Amino acid sequence: MLDDTFELTVTDLKQYAYCPRVFYYHACLPDVRPTTFKMEAGIDAGERERYRSARRTFCAYQVENGERYFDVPATSVELALTGIVDEVIEVAGAHTELIPVDYKLSRRAGHHFKLQLTAYAELLEATYHVPVRRGFLYLIPQQHAEEIAITKSLRRNLRELLSAMRLVAQLERMPQSGHPARCRNCEFKRFCNDV
Ligand code: SF4
């Protein structure tokens, strides 16, 4: 029986999106270091972007005024999920809202990035009891903030993905390779004998 309280992090989601096996190694073989070169590059770029973002105006996010917070921790008991949001914009007033911003070393706002942003939206709602209707993926190479609506469909997809991840972790079943093109430069290649 699947345990829905098995705790996951948004970092787990990122690993699963990069390749489900990277998540599997992390969850089932914790002595194996689960960070690939590309993931580390993404983390470094995100940290550099945080400093630039602090000086950026709110125009990039189509907001006139607000408060900006960085590295905001948040938790959802319902999803058994925790994470730290790169940046959160708080817009006060008649329609108070929180807007998560996730920095990405990518030129495209892919579906898996939208799911990570949805995870942050759910975590912020659960922790701060303020609605999150939208967020931004800040595409670092293009210096462009893309607005993403947090839709019911994305929320449903997120729950399906978390269930699939829990299945992998609890049954300790190695998943298929998600993205064969990434195997060439992957430091886990020596563990994946079939790629
Ligand atoms: S070698 Fe390929 S299948 Fe194995 S973890 Fe890396 S990307 Fe995934």
Verify whether ligand 1 is closer than 6 Å to residue 174 (CB atom): no
Query: Ligand 1: which residue has its CA nearest to atom 3?
Result: 177
Judge whether residue 49 has pLDDT over 90: no
The amino acid that residue 75 corresponds to is: T
**Confidence (pLDDT) at 181:** 85
Judge whether residue 102 has pLDDT over 60: yes
The Å distance, Cα 35 to ligand 1 centre, comes to 11
Atom of ligand 1 nearest to the CA of 22: 5
Judge whether residue 46 has pLDDT over 70: no
Percent of the chain with pLDDT over 90: 48
Dump pLDDT digits (tens) for 127-185. 999 999 999 999 988 889 999 999 999 999 999 999 999 999 999 888 887 778 888 88
The mean pLDDT of the chain is: 86
Place of tokens 């729950």: 159
Verify whether ligand 1 is closer than 6 Å to residue 126 (CB atom): no
Verify whether ligand 1 is closer than 6 Å to residue 35 (CB atom): no
Task: Provide the 10 A C-beta neighbour count for residue 148.
Answer: 19
The Å distance, Cα 79 to ligand 1 centre, comes to 27
Cβ pair 101, 54 in contact under 8 A: no
The Å distance, Cα 20 to ligand 1 centre, comes to 8
> Which of 105, 112, 69, 111 is closest to 88 using CA atoms?
69
Give me the domains of the chain, ranges plus CATH numbers: 8-182 (3.90.320.10)
**Confidence (pLDDT) at 36:** 56
Instruction: Tell me the whole-structure pTM to 2 decimals.
Output: 0.86
Sign (positive or negative) of CA dihedral 172, 173, 177, 178: negative
Judge whether residue 85 has pLDDT over 80: yes
